[in-house]
A = this chain, B = another copy of it.
């Protein structure tokens, strides 16, 4: 069974980890968000792709929830002493990857090829593709003005309410090589429990990817990132309240109109299914550990008979 997962960063990466633990990793292709990508200290950073890569390779720090296990921060401390920018936390191990990627991108290699090289170097069987090789950046409109995603999320601690989002470059962005082919060959499409607005919408803003999902011939299952109407972490609930008018499963599903057939929701939301116009799959969705994330993946995969 061929599976394609559309995923954002940390929460999505955990889910992806569960998927490759219950399915054949070689049958899974992950399409990652690049709207969060940024340049910091001159490095080209792709936080969501990296979270997925680290999770797939078992290099992620499960306790901190982001970045690499065993990380150190010496380069950043040294940069700080020389008045370099330090608002975005780049660890030393993480920097090693950014150095290799930045050098490759500057030499003209596309992001998808660089990412594929990392997947090979780490001995992974799972495919990892950026949504696009073109420049696509998420901008956040707030009462305080418009910010890049990372300015809003990290530098300002996502304290500003979100009035609107803009995906710079999306109009002209092509799907990265392999993305449409993977979707076309898939038996199951999954939307990871990532933030619908800032993690999955930038992927779906690539028209060819949205079209491929709209015209799918196989089931597409989204996993809600909310539990009892609240985000496990981050601003998804506040954004849904303000932009969709609520945080029920129906409000989550409204972010994916025409794109999904089922929505996996938490038991805490089982009584709040009013207005949901896709099939609800009720389970426990909190990925507290390896068992929980595998169970969640199994549930999502269960819509297609093995």
On A, residues with C-beta under 8 Å from B are 41-43, 68, 71-72, 74-84, 91-97, 99-100, 102-103, 106, 117-118, 121-122
Residue of B nearest to A53 (CB): B82
Max count, chain B CB within 10 A of own CB: residue among A68, A72, A77, A100: A100
A interface majority secondary structure? helix
Within the complex, which residue of B42, B68, B78 is in contact with A97, where a contact is CB–CB below 8 Å? Answer: B78
Copies per assembly: 2
CB distance B102 to A79 under 8 Å? no
Extra A-B contacts (8), CB below 8 Å, given A42-B99, A95-B99:
A41-B103, A42-B102, A68-B78, A75-B75, A75-B96, A79-B99, A82-B100, A82-B118
Provide the residues of chain B in CB contact with A94, threshold 8 Å. 78
Provide the residues of chain B in CB contact with A102, threshold 8 Å. 42
CB distance B96 to A77 under 8 Å? yes
CB distance A95 to B95 under 8 Å? yes
CB distance B41 to A82 under 8 Å? no
Provide the residues of chain B in CB contact with A93, threshold 8 Å. 74-75, 77-78
* In the bound complex, CA of A79 to CA of B94 (Å): 9
A41-B103, A82-B97, A82-B121 known; A74-B72 Cβ under 8 A:
yes
